[in-house]
Amino acid sequence: MSHPAKASEFLQDAAKAKWHDETLWFVRDKRDTISKTIPEWEQLRELASQIKDNVLANLDHYLVEFEEKAKANGIQVHWAKDAEEHNQIVLSILQNHQCQAIVKSKSILTEECHLNPYLEKNGIEVVDTDLGERIVQFLNQPPSHIVLPAIHLKKKDISELFHEKLHTEKGNEDPAYLTHAARLHLREKFLGAKVAITGVNFGIAETGEFVVCTNEGNADMGVHLADVHIACMGIEKIIPRRKDLGVFLRLLARSATGQPITNYNSHFRSPSLGKEIHIVLVDNGRTDQLAREKFKNSLKCIRCGACMNTCPIYRRSGGYSYGSVVPGPIGSILSPGLDVKKYSSLPFASTLCGSCTDVCPVKINIHEQLYEWRQEITKAQGTNAKSISMKIANGIFAVPFAYQVTGAMMRGALKILPDSITYSGLNTWGKQRDLPETPEASFKDWYKKNRS
């Protein structure tokens, strides 16, 4: 189903859609406020962008350096060319440890690889431990936002869900009460898990360490109680030096939620005595994207979600309208790289206002790439109703006489045509909008009469 069709579904519940729009704008506003307290904010964005450019230009070199250092630190490094291989590697580690149940903290990569259904099919219980992710997992839904996974749900929905799953009081919608119930439920899971899976925010080539950022502390609760830590990492998450973290950690949380830093920023360098750390380095289409000159910059993304919070389309259509693992503006330039046919409507889910580009902490030219994808997709797809009307308009505008005649005709016609024709399916502009009153005469006629 296309983005517009799914967006219409989201907009059915007008009150909820309004809340969604305003809540994300509030997060965007917090980002603005805190970014203005840092005088060098723009300089930091420029530095982050340059560091990531350098990474993309030397990715093979940094990956080899990272692997070498990580191995020297006692970390086991695996490489996966695609989602399937990634999932097989994870499963084989679990099987080697006779592990039947795992805890997992937020990892968009494992969503991308559809790891949960794969492991469940192989008899493994997977518990997502980020509160928002646990909520959507109970509902068998994917996250609708990469930082705020359950932002599409209201506390009433969550209260009903927890009453059913965790036997909380019926009708108790207090977020503190519900969070506490989840804390008790997940504490048991943390204490029982032998293997914990996390994503990776940054992998540092210089030291072979990797950094995981959370506010809840769920990643750390999982890995420090388990015997085995599996970290799943896209190959583009590499940064060259430890000191580069100074730039990225200043930008990440401020851009994401408007807080100065996440509560827990854990640097994993080597396993505790008697324990294991595995890193799975995953390509899954990233090298293909790197080879696309116009779109390779999308790999600079640090997954802060700022482009979603600011996007007038995302805020009013919800994460599910995109039908992709990463929604919003950044998802609309990443997803066509994976499957251009399936995601062909996404680059059009934008006003091209450029706000995404303005807030991006690594200065990805998101709106320009959206525009570039439109060119590619239109070339591949041929004509549609809109392009036919544009061709007609082109003919009319090119010939002054034709323009005068059609202008007069339209002024007359719009007055007498029934709405069923004026607002037919061909007039997509007319959906939820009224045409303005047509003037008596054209501006040219008016000028001749009054000013000459």
Partner 1 sequence: MSSREDILAKIKAIPMEESPLPEIPAFDFLIDHKAAFIRAIEANKGEVITKKGLKDFIDINRFEKILSLVNGMESLSTQPLPSDAHELNDLEVAIIQGQFGVAENGAIWLTDENLGLRALPFITEHLVIVLEEKSLVSNMHEAYQRIGAQHSGFGLFISGPSKTADIEQSLVIGAHGAKSLRVVLR
Nearer to partner 1, 283 or 350 (CB): 283
Min CB(159)–partner 1 separation in Å: 9
Return phi, psi of residue 252, to 5°: -60, -60
Min CB(294)–partner 1 separation in Å: 13
Nearer to partner 1, 63 or 349 (CB): 63
The DSSP symbol for 12 reads: T
Min CB(354)–partner 1 separation in Å: 24
**What is the three-class DSSP state of 394?**
helix
Nearer to partner 1, 135 or 200 (CB): 135
Min CB(123)–partner 1 separation in Å: 25
Min CB(267)–partner 1 separation in Å: 4
Structure tokens at 268: 């994993």
Picking from 93, 422, 25, the residue whose alpha carbon sits closest to that of residue 258 is 25
Nearer to partner 1, 59 or 346 (CB): 59
Nearer to partner 1, 96 or 272 (CB): 272
Nearer to partner 1, 7 or 148 (CB): 148
d(CA 344, CA 302): 24
Inter-residue contact 82 to 76 (CB < 8 Å): no
d(CA 131, CA 148): 10
Min CB(174)–partner 1 separation in Å: 9
Structure tokens at 125: 């219980």
Nearer to partner 1, 132 or 332 (CB): 132
CA angle 86, 108, 49 (to 5 degrees): 105
Terminal Cα distance for the chain, rounded: 55
d(CA 247, CA 250): 5
Min CB(52)–partner 1 separation in Å: 9
Is the sign of the CA dihedral 81, 82, 88, 89 positive or negative? positive
Return phi, psi of residue 352, to 5°: 55, 30
